[in-house]
Structure 1
């Protein structure tokens, strides 16, 4: 089957280039990657011809084919970000290519990715493949407490952190003093700085929120008569939202707020981009949730610390996993803390 026949709505230039595609690289993603490249190359005289020549005559000398370097060096195709030379080497030469550590530029290349010039060469025949360095895989382990929950009123932390050992947890506004391992009762907690807005909001928490962890996924179900508001970077990534988007969960509704598998994929990708990229994922391991009052772009409260009653959920498994990876990458041995 000719790859070109699969794309009935594709421009002729993209169709031609897809004819040289290797292996089973995801069809739609490869098409989008090539389409993005064609748009850039069409602005440069002769660039398309140079690329086609390189692809059609693999053994022959070829010219650099360059695109402008982005601010962070990466290129976004669909929801995935990657280094441009890796993306196009994967499309046209090595579908199983994992990271830029496996690529070395040939001496003839004038604009190799590593040279940090304003232009980057994406000619797949200007790179050779090398063995990737030996980084031991770090396994995910389930901790004894899958999460801890901290309660806040405005910007004041109130009471001790609650450590969840049960995979099903209720956070409610009631006053059960029996240390029930499945319940975190906010009604018990006192705060001398409480104002009338906080008092009124606390009265409306009611049955609150049901958090449950099943099959590597975390869900939040609103049991309260009023909505709850959730900021989860993992959930936002899944839906293609801006990372700091706040989602409203109406009464009786639930939302998947974390997925271990997607987090694992992001972690694997981030390792290729270094320590800082991996450390940035700590933000994904903390989920913020407010009761009754919302915050963010569509509300007059811009920040969660302006809401009367809110909780912060720290996911222990992903945080410990990140800590192990960072330690192996040469991090300081300090435990990872919450990053706001």
Structure 2
């Protein structure tokens, strides 16, 4: 447990302003629990300074500006300084090896020209993708759902599609009781008894690492993914590359980071890939802990032990 005197010294070293004892106690409890579920820590007019200092001291030592942080959907207080209520924006310029650019000049758009240059295009892995989640399950009416989730283990889908109506949804593993913690969303442990085939060892090991998993949130500026697990997640979305007519990307989202994976206001153009056919521009794929792509041991997402397909509702 954090002792208040030591905590005050550490905050001062990180450049934090003076903090009253009651706020210091709240902050100590939040740091002990290390969970988004803890209460907000409000700091009034010094909230910005305290938030930056706390984040540097306990989560992201190299964060420079508050603009690098984004509040998690479960936090309702703009002045909150609980470091576990904030996520860091994913930086596109730091792909991990062995990820590299792979040109796909033979991909042609069905309509529209190439999009304007986008600063988010980087040397992340390029990937061919289409929608897999229908898999014989017809659901023609979207009603009030803004997306549907389909969970896969390798090339086998586990469970049925999960419709999402609330603005935010969690996808998480059991991890010794998380499914009963009152979280709203898709608990992957609840799907286990529906599995037809024996669980592969690599699947079992990967599922054990999912933990708090990810949060998907429909917000005013797009659909955001928040990685709340202790492992990276890997994302492929046509919307992540402005030149989606040329290629698609796989992005690595580190623990504690977030990424806008789709902007309904600027949907990607429909494209068709040779030998594959049309690509679903409203399908997003997320792999837990394991990446995929050319020059990687897993060439396709169906080789990943645990992954998720997000099917976004068509425009109304």
Q: With structure 2 as the length reference, what TM-score do the two structures score?
A: 0.49
Q: Which structure has the larger Rg over C-alpha atoms?
A: 1
Higher helix share: 1
